[in-house]
Amino acid sequence: MAGQGGLAVAVAADTMALGPLPADVADEVRQLLARLTAEQRLWLSGYLAGSLASGAAVAPVGAAVQPAVKPVTVLFGSQSGNAERVARDTARHLEQRGVSCVVLDMMDCGKPELAAAHTLLVVVSTQGEGDPPDRALPLWELLEGRRAPPLAHLRFAVLALGDSSYRNYCETGKRFDARLEALGATRLAPRVDCDVDFDAPAARWRESLAEGLEPPASAAVGAVARVHAVAASPVASAYTRRNPFAAPLLLNQRLTARGSTKDVRHIELSLEGSGIRYEPGDALGIVPRNPDADVDAVLAALPFAPETPVRLESHELSLRDALASRVAVDWPDDAFLEAWAPERVAALRGRLLADVLRAAPRDDVDAARFIALLRPLSQRLYSIASSAHATPDEVHLTVGVVEYEHGGARRTGVVSGALAALHDDAANVPVYLHRNAGFRLPAPDVPIVMIGAGTGIAPYRGFVAERAATGARGRNWLVFGDRHFRTDFLYQSEWLAWRTKGLLDRIDVAFSRDQADRVYVQHRLREQGETLWRWLQEGACVYVCGDAKRMAPDVHAALADVARTHGGFDDDRAAEWLSQLQRERRYQRDVY
Amino acid sequence: MDDLHPNEALKRESRYLRGTLTASLDDAVTGAVSDDDALLTKFFGIYQQDDRDVRDERRRARLEPQYQFMVRVRMPGGVCTPAQWLAIDDLARRYAGNTIRLTTRQTVQFHHVAKRHLRALLAGLAAAGLDTLAACGDDNRNVISAANPLLSAAHAEASALARTVSESLLPRTGAYREVFLGEPPRAVIGEEEPVYGATYLPRKFKIAIAVPPRNDIDVRAHDLGFVAVLEGGRIAGYDVYVGGGMGMTHRTPATFPRLSDPVGFCRPDDVLPVAFHTLCIQRDHGDRRDRAHARFKYTIEDRGADWFAAELARRLGRALEPARGAGFETNQDPDGWHRSADGRWHCAVNVENGRVIDGDGRDLMTALRAIASLHCGVFALTTNQNLIVAGVDESQRAAIDALLDAHGVAVSARQPVRRVAMACVALPTCGLAMAESERYLPRFMEVLGQLMRECGVGEEAINVRLSGCPNGCSRPFLGEIALVGRAPGRYNLHLGAGRAGERLNVLYRENVDEAAILAALRPLLQRFAAERQPGEAFGDFTVRAGVVPALIHGREFHRAAAAVAAEAAPAAALSA
């Protein structure tokens, strides 16, 4: 709901004839729009849409953007959109309690914003092995660097989002928390770290804050509160992770040819009747469910009945359901082992949970405590590989089937394995939409460079399909990498057809294992540096999707190289140029 | 000009076959070259194909067809040195799926070559003194000659002549060197193709040189044939044959296989000018509108051998002498070890389908590599897809035998009918194939061999030829028994060719499956066993017994088939 809509508004402000408005009013609106940031325009569009839809009186625009009381700043650093959503929820929640809030993207937060704020509520996620979200990097670099402003005037609290299946869990939140304190700010409440199931801890964090914040001093705040309530929800779907839509499977087609070392699937699902409306760049969440055999094995090793009730996040459900859909039942992590059998951690490490339970039975732990010890099932998000304009009522995914061996047995990923095994015409997949505001197509005439490896190609299929279906005239350049040309060129015939039709202006491919020397996408970027630099000078947007550990940094370095080689930049200027591209949303990443 | 076949414009505008080949090769997004370039690569022995077995599954996987290239080497007379064989073997293992195929025109071809490996493969061949120029395309193809130059002085002379003729009629375009070998363009003074011109030939052109009494090369199946006339073991000159060819189109009476006609005799020194002028006559008079009618055989058929003789005489400045009329005894290869007059040994290794590959306990590829590593003579390929380890000293025989044995390649172990059988490649790589051929041959020879044993003729070396389509790569219309593909599992059954390549076969049963083929052959083989005359070949028997008429003139091909069908119809009605 964010970037795309915001940019659309931006374009409209410059070009749209403001239909029924008198000329003087239209001029005022234009002038106002010109002063707003993209974020503010987006907020305004949601506000207007929400107000009109709900039949509420439209509050005076000036009142909406200039509340009487200095509001609390809810600052988010988001990659996938989760932190943004929690930030907006937090603002809404606080405003319902009379606390005025503004929601601010870290990308839009510099020294002036920090100086103007008095209370900073930070919601920030952590990427991969402890990295900040792309759009949080400029602010992080500011706070870390010598130019960091003193923040003694500031109160703050940090909510850290993360995924405990990664090392350096919630690292970014921890660093913001420590750094804000080091710069003199006062901690309003202890930091809360959230795992993939962040709703419950986030709610606790909000509760802990509300008490310490000033009560409202002005009636104007009420209007703002309403505004945020509608702005956050114009395209929200009724379906969530806890209440997913059962999407009928339309197609499960293997994309990698025989002989490939990988099994990558093209999955088509029906969204008919769901009301889910996605944009290119969005992701689809698939609710994970552990294989019945694994759940049964764990239950068999436990002294509890499968129907034993357990409470999770204030919901009650049966032990069986909790094991099936809430916690990982494959290999327990060290934290579990240390709690379960502290003297045998080394011996039990690497064994399946059911084996561990059999090898080290305990009868002094109740079912709820047992469940709480287990690592929550991480959410499974897949970049959407289709365009709702091109294929209405359908959503397409590109799913790499995770395959591995453990103890001599072949196993597959909880979600990818289950998806790959589906062939029944009656199969349904529990899904929910996951907005990805940080990965959006630009205006229709802006050229784009799409860089991806492996299943990272998925959103680009959506991008090009969208641009083809909507007649967008901007040039499109795909840079794709995988292992082998013959077996792993995902959607090859579609790219070729788009190229033939003139919808794909360039394709560069890097197949790493077709020759003695490994060749990756970043090599192609350097080879094509001159052309790439020209595209960027012409305003192109660059996208990077796929592996966060190696590809994304390598591509980043290659882009900096291109700026040095073809733009004559020194290292600092190249880095600044890339930061600026990010701030301008011309360099967007969806890496995992 | 408007009614010329589109390929003519393509050739004319290709800048002597350069087209956009460089861009096509450099396009890493597809394993194919452009449609136009795919026609041009043929002139360089390179055929774009795809694995038809996986075509549909790749389509569903949103992958393009599994494009790959067949690369055919030019090897005049089928002669290569052991060092060249080792280079070919190495390239096949690097780039071509660990297999080499011996062709029916005395050379080798690589299959399964990826586009990105084409340049490396051709560079590897060049380093071994080999090229792929004109191995396909509308030009003079590989010139073939009686196998094994070390067999006699006459064979050596014929083989050397094949090389000379091949070199003299090569395209001169620099495209091959520039596109594939990365050489800079050379300055061209005057016409870049002094012989061919910008549009080359209307169709392919094939030259063959035979040394009687063995007609292993089926000399009359080619556009231009030279048959050595021997006097005291020396070649006194050659009878000249024009207008042969196998290819035809099913159910199209205007197309037919044709045996070439003798038009005279020439001295050895005249072979080059005769070949040159004959090629030029076809260049100037061949049909450039209809490619199904563009082979030289139709030029001869339409205008007559006399017209040709007069035209040749005009260009040559003199008429040919009358043909001498040398005869042939067989068109089959020798089998196993044999000795030439100079005392050297030669070992004909049977290569089923010409497929050199390891597997099933018969590691032929490894065996040949090992032999090439110690062998001092030559490897002589035959047009019946076999390989002769030629020029072996008495002292080396045992070593070669041991290598063959060690790799499961027993000489002469196969039933004769299976040893002499031939099949084209067909599925899955050939785009023309309508039915299986190479992959079906082992199965068919198993059941046919069994049937022959049951009928008491299990040791007969009947010429059996399989083809996946009627274009005739395996020279099917010269098989005593031939299957020509119509559809998966269905073939036309032809009978009655001569065993020395002197008579065509006749369509006997149309579009039938294996059971019908065996049912049709069983009574004939039984009669053959009972009624054959001493030494009589099966093809000759079927003609003598009136099963099929004797077919010499290709133009009678469809009429003969109709006559057989008319006779079969009431017989079928009776038996039903």
- In chain B, which among 115-144 make CB contacts under 8 A with chain A? 116
d(CA A84, CA A104): 9
* Of B313, B145, B157, B308, nearest in space to B226 by CA: B145
- Closest-CA distance, A538 to chain B, in angstroms, reads 25
A505 touches B73 (CB < 8 A): no
Share of chain B above pLDDT 90, in %: 94
Per DSSP bridges, beta strands B79-80 and B378-381 are antiparallel
SS3 labels along B279-335: HHHHHHHCCCCCHHHCCHHHHHHHHCHHHHHHHHHHHHCCCCECCCCCCCCECCCCC
* Alpha carbon of B62: minimum distance to chain A alpha carbons (Å): 5
Cβ(B283)–Cβ(B197) below 8 Å = yes
The contact set of A with B (CB < 8 A) is 253-258, 266, 485-486, 489-496, 499, 507-509, 514
CB contact under 8 A, B62 and A257: no
Q: Could you tell me the end-to-end alpha-carbon distance of chain A, in angstroms, rounded to an integer? A: 21
**Phi and psi, residue A192, nearest 5°:** -115, 130
Q: Find residue B144's DSSP bridge partners.
A: B208
Taking the C-alpha atoms of residue B277 and residue B264, their distance in angstroms, rounded to an integer, is 14
Mean pLDDT, range B18-22, rounded to an integer: 98
Active-site residue numbers of B? 72, 141, 204, 206, 424, 430, 469, 473
Q: pLDDT tens, B313-372?
A: 999 999 999 999 988 999 999 999 999 999 999 999 999 999 999 998 899 999 999 999
Answer for the pair A230, A238: CB distance below 8 angstroms, yes or no: no
Sheet with A394-400, strands from edge to edge, namely: A380-383, A283-286, A428-434, A245-254, A264-270, A394-400
Per-residue confidence (pLDDT) for residue A232, from 0 to 100 = 35
Chain B closest-CA separation from residue A132 CA (Å): 35
Q: Which of A262, A484, A491, A493 is the best substitution to test chain B (most B C-beta atoms within 10 A)? A: A493
Question: Is B59–A507 a contact, with Cβ atoms under 8 angstroms apart?
Answer: no
> CA torsion B559→B563→B568→B571, rounded to 10°?
170
Tokens matching residue A35: 């002063």
Which chain A residues are within 8 Å of B64, Cβ to Cβ? Answer: 492-493, 496
CB B228 within 8 Å of CB B323: no
Mean pLDDT over the full length of chain B: 95
Is the model's pLDDT at B267 over the cut of 90? yes
Amino acid code (one letter) for B79? V
Q: How confident is the model at residue B438 (pLDDT cuts 50, 70, 90)?
A: very high
CB pairs under 8 A between A and B: 47
Rounded Cα–Cα distance for residues B252 and B256 (Å): 8
Do A133 and A105 touch, CB atoms closer than 8 A?
Answer: no
Inter-chain touch B54–A258, beta carbons under 8 Å: yes
Flag if A493 and B63 touch (Cβ within 8 Å): yes
Beta strands of A33-137 (E only): which ranges? 72-77, 101-105, 119-125
Distance, in Å, from the CA atom of A191 to the CA atom of A177, rounded to the nearest integer, reads 7
- Inspect the interface and report whether the beta carbons of B62 and A255 lie closer than 8 Å: yes
Q: Is the peptide bond before B428 cis (omega within 30 degrees of 0)?
A: yes
Interval B271-288 mean pLDDT = 98
| Interface predicted TM-score of the whole assembly (ipTM), two decimals | 0.91
SS3 content of chain B, % helix, strand, coil (to 5): 40, 20, 40
Asked if B61's CB is within 8 angstroms of A254's CB, the reply is yes
Specify the DSSP class assigned to residue B344.
-
Q: Tokens for B35, please give them.
A: 């449609």
Residue with tokens 């077996």: A487
Architecture per CATH, domain B418-575, reads as 2-Layer Sandwich (3.30)
Tens of pLDDT, residues B308-322? 999 999 999 999 999
The Cα–Cα gap between B26 and A525 comes to 17
Residue A5 is predicted with a pLDDT of: 32
Q: Average pLDDT in the B59-76 region? A: 97
Query: Which pairs with CB-CB distance under 8 Å and at least 24 residues apart come from A46-54?
Result: A46/A1, A46/A5, A46/A230, A46/A231, A46/A232, A46/A233, A46/A234, A47/A227, A47/A230, A47/A231, A49/A230, A49/A234, A50/A227, A50/A229, A50/A230, A50/A231, A50/A233, A50/A234, A51/A227, A51/A230, A53/A230, A53/A234, A54/A230
| Residue among A257, A499, A509 minimizing CB distance to B61 | A257
Contact B62 A493 (CB under 8 A): yes
Q: Of B446, B491, B449, whose CA–CA distance to B466 is shortest?
A: B491
Judge if the upstream peptide bond of residue B534 is cis by omega within 30 degrees of 0.
no
Distance in angstroms (rounded) separating the CA atoms of residues B481 and B494: 6
The token pair at B205 is: 């052109």
- Which residues between 15 and 44 in chain B have a beta carbon less than 8 angstroms from any beta carbon of chain A? 28-31
> Which superfamily does B336-414 belong to?
Sulfite Reductase Hemoprotein;Domain 2 (3.90.480.10)
- Give residue B576's pLDDT band: very low, low, confident or very high (50, 70, 90): very low
In this structure, the number of other CB atoms found within 10 A of the CB of residue A25 comes to 11
Q: Contact A260/A484 with Cβ under 8 angstroms?
A: yes
Partners of residue B57 in chain A, C-beta under 8 Å: 257-258
**The tokens 């300055």 sit on which residue?**
B187
- Which residue from B minimizes the CA distance to A265? B61
- Alpha-carbon Rg of chain A, whole angstroms? 25
- Can you give the residue ranges of every domain in chain B? 336-414, 418-575
CA distance A63 to A44: 12
Note down pLDDT in tens along chain A; length 592 residues. 333 333 333 333 344 445 556 666 667 776 777 666 655 665 565 455 444 444 333 333 333 333 346 789 999 998 878 898 899 989 988 888 888 889 999 988 888 889 889 899 999 999 877 888 888 888 888 898 777 888 999 999 999 998 877 778 899 999 999 999 999 999 988 999 998 778 889 988 988 887 777 554 443 333 333 323 333 333 445 788 888 999 999 999 999 999 999 999 999 999 999 999 999 999 999 999 999 999 999 999 999 999 999 988 777 899 999 999 889 998 898 889 999 999 999 999 889 999 999 999 998 889 989 998 998 888 889 999 999 999 999 999 999 999 888 777 788 888 999 899 887 677 999 999 998 888 999 999 999 999 999 999 999 999 999 999 999 999 999 999 999 999 999 999 999 999 999 999 999 999 999 999 999 999 999 999 999 999 999 999 999 999 999 999 999 999 999 999 999 999 999 999 999 999 899 999 998 8
CA separation (Å) from A244 to A315, A393, A398, B23, B241? 16, 16, 20, 50, 81
Name the minimum distance, in Å, from the CA of A422 to any CA of chain B: 17
- Give chain B's radius of gyration (CA, Å): 23
For residues A394 and A267, is the Cβ–Cβ distance under 8 A? no
Among B384, B492, B477, B479, residue whose Cα is nearest residue B435: B492
Each residue of A427-449: pLDDT tens digit?
A: 999 999 998 888 999 999 999 99
| Chain A residues in contact with B30 (beta carbon < 8 A) | 492, 496
CA distances A4 to A9, A293, A545, B110, B387, Å, are 9, 43, 18, 53, 69
3-state secondary structure B451-488: HHHHCCCCCCCCCEEEECCCCCCCCHHHCCEEEEEEEC
- pLDDT tens for B189-208 read 899 999 999 999 999 999 99
Nearest CB among A257, A507, A514 relative to B63 is that of A257
Q: DSSP H helical segments within A252-351, as ranges?
A: 292-300, 319-325, 334-340, 345-348
Cα B371 to chain center, whole Å? 25
B62–A486: do the CB atoms touch at under 8 Å?
no
**Per the CB < 8 Å rule, is B62 touching A490?**
yes
State how far residue B109 is from chain A, nearest Cα, in angstroms: 22
Bridge partner residues of B131 (DSSP): B74
CB contact, 8 Å: B54 with chain A?
yes
CA distance B505 to B478: 6
Report the candidate in B189, B91, B184 with the shortest Cα–Cα distance to residue B131: B91
Residues of B in contact with A496 (CB under 8 A): 29-30, 64
Tokens of B28: 């890493």
pLDDT of residue B570: 59
> In whole angstroms, how far apart are CA B251 and each of B486, B488, B491?
11, 17, 13
Cβ-nearest to B64 among A258, A496, A507: A496
Question: Do residue B63 and residue A485 have CB atoms under 8 angstroms apart?
Answer: no
Whether residue B63 and residue A492 make contact (CB cut-off 8 A), yes or no, is yes
Instruction: Please give the average per-residue pLDDT across B449-473, as a whole number.
Output: 97
Sign of CA dihedral A432, A436, A437, A442: negative
pLDDT at residue number A290: 92
Q: How far is A280 from chain B (nearest CA, A)?
A: 21
